[in-house]
Structure 1
Amino acid sequence: MSHTYIPFESYKRKWIFNHKDLPVSDEDKALILPLSDKSAMEVWNKWISNKSSRAEQFAKGDWPAKQDAWSETDHWQSAWDSNDNALPEAITAHIQWPDDAKVYFCYEKYQVIETRWDVFVRHWKCFLFFDDGPLLVSPNHKQALMFEQNGQYKLGTRG
């Protein structure tokens, strides 16, 4: 599946990666690839849900709605608020992907960013300026991650 991308400069949420307190290098910005609506929809339908368009709509049959998809829940908000940029330890213990693993950070059906695991790890705080239930998946790996608005994250395995 080949994707089309929105040029970074035209991406309406690019400010999250231009925040003065959380600098993102130009090299990393070049690896943050917002998908066009059509490509985002293809990724969402294939890896997340072909019924629901956002997290709060997940329904029976959607793998993220299954209780047994998620093995652990913990808090991300305090780590996000701290001066330490490291991802919460439980996340890095659960997800041990190679640095260059392709990942999709999926806000909702038409808002998906493709990047690499190492870029996400370095800049996860930027991605979470929008925290209405985004999911992180990798097409080549089964582990998944969901961030909830209540400041918690869930570690899981996609179906």
Structure 2
Amino acid sequence: MSHTYIPLDTYRRKWIFNHKDLPVSDEDKTCILPLTDKSAMLVWNQWISNKSSRAEQFTKGDWAAKADAWTQTDHWQSAWDSEDNSLPEMLAEFIQWPEDTPVFFCYEKYQVIETRWDVFVRNWKCFLFFDDGPILISPKQKQAVMFEQNGQYKLGVRG
């Protein structure tokens, strides 16, 4: 399925990738691809939920709502606040994807960004300026991560 994208320059949340304290390289910016509403909806419906439009609405039948979908929980906020830009340790251990693995960072049904795993790893703090339950997935992999506003994240496997 081919997706359509919004140029990063016109993306309404582009400021998160232009923050002076967390600079994103020009090279990485070319790999941060916000999806149009229609493409975002297709990704969300296929990989996240065809019933709920955001994390707090997940219901019975959504894989992310199943108790056994999520196996570990850890804190991302302290790593985010630190000077160190590396991923939280448990997350880095849980996901060992090839650098060029395509990933979707899904904020909600109409807000999805496609990028590569290595680009996400380098710039993960920028993606988390919005932390209302986004889910990181890769269509090619089963692992998933959900980031929560309380500063925690959950590691699991897509059903």
1:126 aligns with 2:122: no
Alignment length, in residue pairs? 159
Structure 2: how far apart are the matches of 1:29 and 1:111?
Answer: 17
Per the alignment, residue 28 of structure 1 pairs with 28
Q: CA RMSD in A?
A: 0.3
Structure 2: how far apart are the matches of 1:30 and 1:67?
Answer: 37
CA shift at 1:123, angstroms?
A: 0.4
- The secondary structure found in structure 2 opposite 1:44 is helix
Structure 2: how far apart are the matches of 1:141 and 1:80?
Answer: 25
CA shift at 1:151, angstroms?
A: 0.4
Per the alignment, residue 91 of structure 1 pairs with 91
Q: Matches of residues 53-132 of structure 1 in structure 2 within 5 Å?
A: 53-132=53-132
Structure 2: how far apart are the matches of 1:140 and 1:150?
Answer: 29
CA shift at 1:48, angstroms?
A: 0.2
Q: Name the TM-score, length of structure 2 as normaliser.
A: 0.99
Q: Name the TM-score, length of structure 1 as normaliser.
A: 0.99
- The secondary structure found in structure 1 opposite 2:144 is strand
Q: Matches of residues 117-156 of structure 1 in structure 2 within 5 Å?
A: 117-156=117-156
Structure 2: how far apart are the matches of 1:17 and 1:81?
Answer: 17
Per the alignment, residue 50 of structure 2 pairs with 50
Structure 1 residue ranges, 4+ long, deviating more than 2 angstroms after superposition: none
1:91-148 CA-partner distances (Å, limit 9, x unpaired): 0111000000000000000000000000000000000000000000000000000000
CA shift at 1:51, angstroms?
A: 0.2
